[in-house]
């Protein structure tokens, strides 16, 4: 089944390539767009056609709706896949595509808009009997209302921006003294970041887990889920490690949460692929938000279910009925994703863009590496600093961890600082190994101590490798034997 003749991918990097891979398997032609900073990028070379969309700043290129639609029409693309980030959750873009007769591969613009409002989506879920955290039902009207609600739910509470995301405008309040100030600060930040000052308050959970469910919904009322992911390990609201399934999931909890995830999708008239995010603490879970896009971490779900989420997105957007029943989807084994970024773990994770001088990615059993870079490529400073998504699958969680450690050992990246040592530290952390994680995991002392040591070890490894390359030992570098060589040097 072909679904479309030609699809435009309105994104860059690894996710553009991920979508194009699905298109290629489906025999669909691909159209890439690229900014002046990306003329040498892999996604441009991978596509059947590529069009310059504008200057490097996202507002002039990957966020330029009119220009992207012009390219879609000029190239004859019938549909646009937005990837994640950029225009993926911009309801105006989805609406504009609809008006211009181009299929937006994602949910309807009305659903995207409704889910963009935390207050509206929370109310919708409350009505659908999905658990939500107690707090103000709508936006805060005044300090008196805020005080009485905070007293009712009990401190600590959290102030959140209704239009928010990524923790922007969020403030934790421990007692009545800080409340008014937090609301004012939240309103100010929300106004300048989103043009909407509406904030609300809810009960704050100290160390919750972030558990999410992948859902698929077609345009004929069929909704299924593809099980759960655990995404608690984050830094500044950027996920670093994700896995599927969630290590603490029980059949009973899964049944309840999955039913809620399906209820969320049905209540919002959801179509296409989406993710329902929950906070979990002490046996209870609460709806947090719904992401109306393909997510970075969809990979781990694909690995445990054997299903291609992007192909399902394309089929759904073409009006097809879901080709799967809920009972067709089962979990096989366990998968972990580490996001490898060009960042300096010892310098507050400052981005470290630059040229990749040597690059060799891991392989062998149970590996998946989604990447938009290659040896000799310069990571531009303009966009995110992701090098790759390193994913390991195992028959059980323990084997997935062993394989991830082995993959980190095999990985050679020279030229930029990377988060590999951080991932090494996490994969050897006994709390992680026990599945004992939460949203403040990286701030804990035990992580800080081990991290510094692993970063130094990794730097030594890469320096030794660089030196051996300068001595002409290229063969070792490309065969991977260099890792063995380096380890024996250390002894
Ligand atoms: C919370 C919370 C605890 N209690 N809400 C962070 C991003 C935004 N989408 C919501 N976030 C949180 N909301 C209540 N009522 C803790 C967080 C939170 C968090 C959530 C998921 C993953 C990582 C996190 C890191 C810090 C805070």
The answer to whether 115 and 265 are in contact (CB under 8 A) is: no
CB 245 less than 6 A from any atom of ligand 1: no
Classify 256 as helix, strand or coil.
helix
CB 306 less than 6 A from any atom of ligand 1: no
Q: Is the pLDDT of residue 489 over 80?
A: no
Query: Per the structure block, which two tokens stand in for 447?
Result: 């992580």
103-104/157-161 β-pairing: unpaired
CA-proximal residue: ligand 1, atom 15 (nearest): 204
Question: How confident is the model over 36-80, as pLDDT tens digits?
Answer: 999 999 999 999 999 999 999 999 999 999 999 999 999 999 999
> What separation in Å is there between the alpha carbon of 222 and the centre of ligand 1?
30
Residues in the chain: 491
**CATH topology of 134-203 equal to that of 209-453?**
no
How far is 231 from 251, CA to CA, in rounded Å? 19
The residue assigned the tokens 């040597």 is: 358
Please state, as a whole number, how many other Cβ atoms lie within 10 Å of the Cβ of residue 488.
Answer: 8
Q: Note the pLDDT of residue 466.
A: 75
Question: How confident is the model over 128-159, as pLDDT tens digits?
Answer: 999 999 998 899 988 899 999 999 999 999 99
Query: Per the structure block, which two tokens stand in for 134?
Result: 């107690």
Q: Is the pLDDT of residue 474 over 60?
A: no
> What separation in Å is there between the alpha carbon of 180 and the centre of ligand 1?
20
Q: What is the CATH number of domain 6-105?
A: 3.40.50.20
Provide the β-strand partners of residue 351: 343
Provide the β-strand partners of residue 212: 229, 277
CB 442 less than 6 A from any atom of ligand 1: no
Q: What is the CATH number of domain 209-453?
A: 3.30.470.20
Higher pLDDT, 482 or 395: 395
Higher pLDDT, 474 or 484: 474
- Cis-peptide into 245, omega within 30 deg: yes
Q: Is 293 a catalytic residue?
A: yes
Q: State the fold for domain 134-203.
A: Dna Ligase; domain 1 (3.30.1490)
Parse the chain into domains and list their residue ranges.
6-105, 134-203, 209-453
CA-proximal residue: ligand 1, atom 14 (nearest): 204
Q: Is the pLDDT of residue 491 over 50?
A: no
From the list 12, 187, 254, 293, the catalytic residue is 293
CB 234 less than 6 A from any atom of ligand 1: yes
Query: What pTM does this model have?
Result: 0.94
Please state, as a whole number, how many other Cβ atoms lie within 10 Å of the Cβ of residue 143.
Answer: 12
CB 237 less than 6 A from any atom of ligand 1: yes
Question: How confident is the model over 308-358, as pLDDT tens digits?
Answer: 999 999 999 999 999 999 999 999 999 999 999 999 888 889 999 999 988
On the CB side of 224, CA atoms within 13 Å amount to 18
Angstrom CA distances, 174 to 15, 167, 181, 199, 214, stand at 40, 18, 12, 17, 34
State the pLDDT confidence band at 167, using cuts at 50, 70 and 90: confident
Name the strand (E) or helix (H) holding 452.
helix 445-470
> What separation in Å is there between the alpha carbon of 210 and the centre of ligand 1?
8
Q: Which residues of 351-385 are buried (b: 16+ CB within 10 A; e: fewer)?
A: bbeeebebbbbbeeebbbbbbbbeeebebbebbeb
């Amino acid at each position: 089944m072909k679904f479309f003749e030609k699809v435009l991918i309105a994104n860059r990097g690894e996710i553009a390539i991920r979508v194009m891979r699905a298109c290629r398997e489906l025999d669909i032609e691909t159209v890439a767009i690229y900014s002046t900073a990306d003329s040498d990028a892999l996604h441009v070379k991978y596509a059947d056609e590529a069009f310059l969309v504008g200057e490097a700043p996202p507002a002039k290129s990957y966020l330029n709706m009119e220009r992207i639609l012009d390219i879609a029409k000029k190239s004859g693309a019938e549909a646009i896949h937005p990837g994640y980030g950029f225009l993926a959750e911009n309801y105006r873009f989805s609406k504009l595509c609809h008006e211009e007769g181009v299929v937006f591969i994602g949910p309807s613009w009305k659903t995207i808009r409704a889910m963009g409002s935390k207050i509206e989506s929370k109310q919708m879920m409350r009505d659908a009997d999905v658990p939500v955290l107690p707090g103000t039902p709508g936006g805060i009207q005044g300090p008196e209302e805020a005080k009485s609600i905070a007293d009712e739910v009990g401190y600590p509470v959290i102030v959140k921006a209704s239009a928010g995301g990524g923790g922007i405008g969020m403030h934790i309040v421990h007692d009545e003294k800080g409340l008014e100030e937090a609301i004012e600060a939240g309103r100010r930040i929300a106004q300048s970041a989103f043009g909407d000052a509406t904030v609300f308050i809810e009960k704050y959970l100290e160390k919750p887990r972030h558990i999410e469910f992948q859902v698929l919904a077609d345009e004929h009322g069929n909704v299924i889920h593809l099980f759960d992911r655990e995404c608690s390990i984050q830094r500044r609201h950027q996920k670093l490690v994700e896995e599927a399934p969630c290590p603490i999931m029980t059949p009973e909890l899964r049944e309840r949460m999955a039913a809620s995830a399906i209820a969320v999708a049905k209540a919002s008239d959801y179509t296409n692929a989406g993710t329902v995010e929950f906070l979990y603490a002490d046996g209870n879970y609460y709806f947090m938000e719904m992401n109306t896009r393909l997510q970075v971490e969809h990979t781990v779900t694909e690995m445990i279910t054997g299903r291609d989420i992007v192909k399902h997105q394309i089929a759904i957007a073409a009006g097809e009925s879901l080709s799967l029943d809920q009972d067709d989807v089962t979990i096989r084994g366990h998968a972990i994703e580490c996001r490898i970024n060009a960042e300096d773990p010892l310098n507050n994770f400052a981005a470290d863009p630059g040229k990749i001088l040597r690059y060799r990615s891991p392989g062998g059993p149970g590996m998946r590496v989604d990447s938009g870079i290659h040896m000799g490529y310069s990571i531009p400073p303009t966009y995110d600093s992701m090098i790759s998504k390193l994913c390991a699958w195992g028959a059980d969680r323990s084997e997935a961890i062993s394989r991830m450690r082995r993959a980190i050992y095999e990985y050679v990246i020279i030229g930029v600082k990377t988060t590999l040592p951080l991932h090494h530290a996490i994969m050897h952390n006994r709390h992680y190994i026990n599945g004992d994680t939460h949203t403040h995991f990286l701030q804990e002392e035990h992580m800080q101590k081990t991290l510094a040591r692993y970063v130094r070890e990794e730097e030594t490894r890469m320096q030794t490798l660089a030196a051996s390359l300068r001595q002409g030992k290229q063969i070792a570098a490309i065969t991977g034997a260099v890792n063995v060589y380096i380890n024996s040097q250390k002894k």
